[in-house]
Structure 1
Amino acid sequence: MKSNNAFLKELVLLLIIVFISVNATCQDKVSSAAHRDSKIEKKDRKKRKYKLPDIDLSHWSVTTPELNKKGSAMNIEPPEILNYAKDERLIPYMYNDSTDGSLVFYSFPSDATTANTKYTRSELREQMVPGDNNTNWTFAQGGYMKGELAMESVSRDADGKYHKVIIMQIHGRLTNEQRDLIGQKDNNAPPILKIYWENGKIRVKTKVLKNLNATGEQLLHEDAWDDDNGFNFEQEVGFRKFMLEVKVSDGKMVVILNGYEYKVYEDINMRKWGVFENYFKAGNYFQSRDEGAFARVKYYELKVTH
């Protein structure tokens, strides 16, 4: 009887030892898995924490609201612009928001204006050849620009309305030969396209001829062109992210908002605009001189092809 009791005690002890051993092993595995999952979660969180915009700046220069040593608006070209995140001249006006992967353009009224305007900008200018403004494109050659962007913040005027901001442009340019032909001191020509963020909606302005019969040299003069009445897209973008596309071909220009609302320009004005060279612009061309006014525009993506 004692022998049986001893055997039972030994069996129970053995079972207890096995149970404790198995349980400890399972806890180790759970702990190891939890530790591994924690490391993965921290790694994923770290990955999500730092995002960069999908923008190649190697074919863009930028103008800022800051004065350069010559007393005009600061302009930074490639390759210097590629170091914008560390360039003290640019950091206040063009910087990454790594929380959402955007490139922020900040502008406000300052003394750093450019030719033929009273407004300031933190705006990119396309350069087909990096560092060179003399190589541009015509409507016959065509062009396509796509941007994903959002208005981050903007001030209001005395009536409580948000200040306007030009967020995209196609700017005309005279060749050196055209400039000399009409006796103009610079190569500036009118912008054929201005896209505004205006009170939470997108507004498009273009140019029309004052005289539809104008030809040749007559077309080169800025006073041959006038502003059209403008077009407002129905969608309200507000401060949300939205997408803009601009497609240009011979005698035609199309502006597309969020992939499904279109404005098409295809008429004699577009055909005769073919006399000019052009370049794309994108960013924050702020349209106010009010004291204390400002705007911040975010670009998440910006792509150009020809």
Structure 2
Amino acid sequence: MKWFITFRVISIQLFIAFLLASSCGKETTSRQEEVVTTDDGLAVGNPEPTAEEATYKLPNIDLNNWKVTLPVAKENGKPLEVTPPEILDYAIDERLLPFMYNDSTDGALVFYTFPGASTANSSYSRTELREQMEPGSNTTNWTFAEGGEMEGTLAVPEISEDANGKPYRTIVMQIHGRLTNEQRDLIGEDDNNAPPVLKIYWANEKIRVHTKILKDTTASDKAILSTTAWKDSVREFSEVVGKEKFSLKIKASEARLEVSLNNSETFVYQDVHMRRWGIFENYFKAGNYFTSKEENTSATVKYYALEVRH
């Protein structure tokens, strides 16, 4: 399988890097620079790294406040999730290795996915991070009044095409809504799911932004808690990102949402829809939420940096 080949390549690269790193503390060295040793055999000085060592890179991502959902199912049929602190060992966790791993050749955290297990409110699969302000818990979230920012550098280097040769889409960032327990009980729901106010797609080599708007802006506070009260509004950035690196920045504040691509083009949403969205709690998501159900399709998303601020 494609992912298995990729994983084998990365594993070999990591093993080579480990061997190189292990030799750094030894008195014997293949470097051209002189290494001076003391009488007890300890090396001193700071020799320059070899070319092989210099190319070994790791992504700039702190996973302490993220859990990940995978496209494979547990025994109960629900997608497998790995939460903090277990997610911090993703590089050696066999559950995660095929789907979330380091590409040390360019310093990326790779998210690979294909059609498989899906969550209760979706028909698509994902390898996607979900923010957890309190590690291991979904119950502590944030409102627009409290605010939040997410910034990332990423790329979509591989994605399958449909029968017409058009690439499938994948969602790379989200702000997802969440009902409080009181709101859930008020409208008689059996879970805390609320609509995602923001979904950012990689779509046909461009970045497409979906936000939620009310079907009826005069609806009651109770009525707008339902997912059926909202519909999508779509905008697309003009820049073609293709399969190259690009940066995204999201800033949410009271009654306002801002989305920027490469610090050069920005969409601002500041209207009645954003004002009324303030009723919901929210959390950030990032990764690879692949919108295909066709067999033998897949997508790869690479994250080089990811940061959340509140």
Tell me the TM-score range normalised by the shorter chain: 0.7 to 0.9
Aligned residue type for 1:123:
E
Structure 2 partner of 1:65 = 71
**TM-superposition CA deviations, 1:160-186 (whole Å, max 9, x none):** 000100000000000011101111000
Out of 121, 130, 137, the position equivalent to 1:132 is 137
**Are residues 1:237 and 2:241 paired?**
yes
Q: Could you say what secondary structure the match of 1:58 adopts?
A: coil
Structure 2 partner of 1:173 = 178
Q: CA deviation at 1:218?
A: 1.4
Residues 207-216 or 251-260, more deviating: 207-216
Aligned residue type for 1:272:
R
Q: Could you say what secondary structure the match of 1:84 adopts?
A: helix
Superposed CA RMSD: 1.4
Structure 1 partner of 2:211 = 206
Structure 1 partner of 2:26 = none
Structure 2 partner of 1:153 = 158
**TM-superposition CA deviations, 1:171-204 (whole Å, max 9, x none):** 0000011101111000000000000000100000
Which runs of 5 or more structure 2 residues have no equivalent in the other structure?
Answer: 1-30, 36-45
Which runs of 5 or more structure 1 residues have no equivalent in the other structure?
Answer: 1-33
Distance 1:93 1:226 in 2: 31
Aligned residue type for 1:299:
Y
Q: CA deviation at 1:37?
A: 7.4
**Are residues 1:299 and 2:296 paired?**
no
Structure 1 partner of 2:251 = 247
**TM-superposition CA deviations, 1:214-258 (whole Å, max 9, x none):** 132111111111112x10100010011010000000000000000
Structure 2 partner of 1:16 = none
Q: 5 Å matches for 1:67-216?
A: 67-110=73-116, 112-216=117-221
Distance 2:299 2:287 in 1: 11
Distance 1:298 1:37 in 2: 38
Distance 1:186 1:135 in 2: 15
Aligned residue type for 2:71:
P
Distance 1:37 1:146 in 2: 42
Q: Could you say what secondary structure the match of 1:278 adopts?
A: strand
Out of 263, 266, 273, the position equivalent to 2:267 is 263
Q: CA deviation at 1:69?
A: 2.3
**Are residues 1:50 and 2:47 paired?**
no
Aligned-residue identity in percent: 57
Aligned residue type for 1:237:
V
Aligned residue type for 1:150:
A
Distance 1:281 1:136 in 2: 12
Structure 2 partner of 1:35 = 32
Aligned residue type for 1:113:
S
Distance 2:305 2:219 in 1: 39
Q: Could you say what secondary structure the match of 2:300 adopts?
A: strand
Distance 1:36 1:145 in 2: 43
TM-score w.r.t. structure 2 length?
Answer: 0.85
Structure 2 partner of 1:6 = none
Distance 2:193 2:230 in 1: 13
When you count helix as a share of all residues, which structure comes out higher? 1
Structure 2 partner of 1:17 = none
Aligned residue type for 1:35:
Q
Q: Radius of gyration: which is bigger?
A: 1
* Number of aligned positions between the proteins: 270
Q: CA deviation at 1:46?
A: 3.8
Out of 217, 229, 235, the position equivalent to 2:222 is 217
- Give structure 1 regions of 4+ aligned residues with deviation exceeding 3 angstroms: 37-41
Aligned residue type for 2:250:
V
Aligned residue type for 1:292:
N
Distance 2:271 2:87 in 1: 38
Distance 1:242 1:37 in 2: 41
Q: CA deviation at 1:49?
A: 2.6
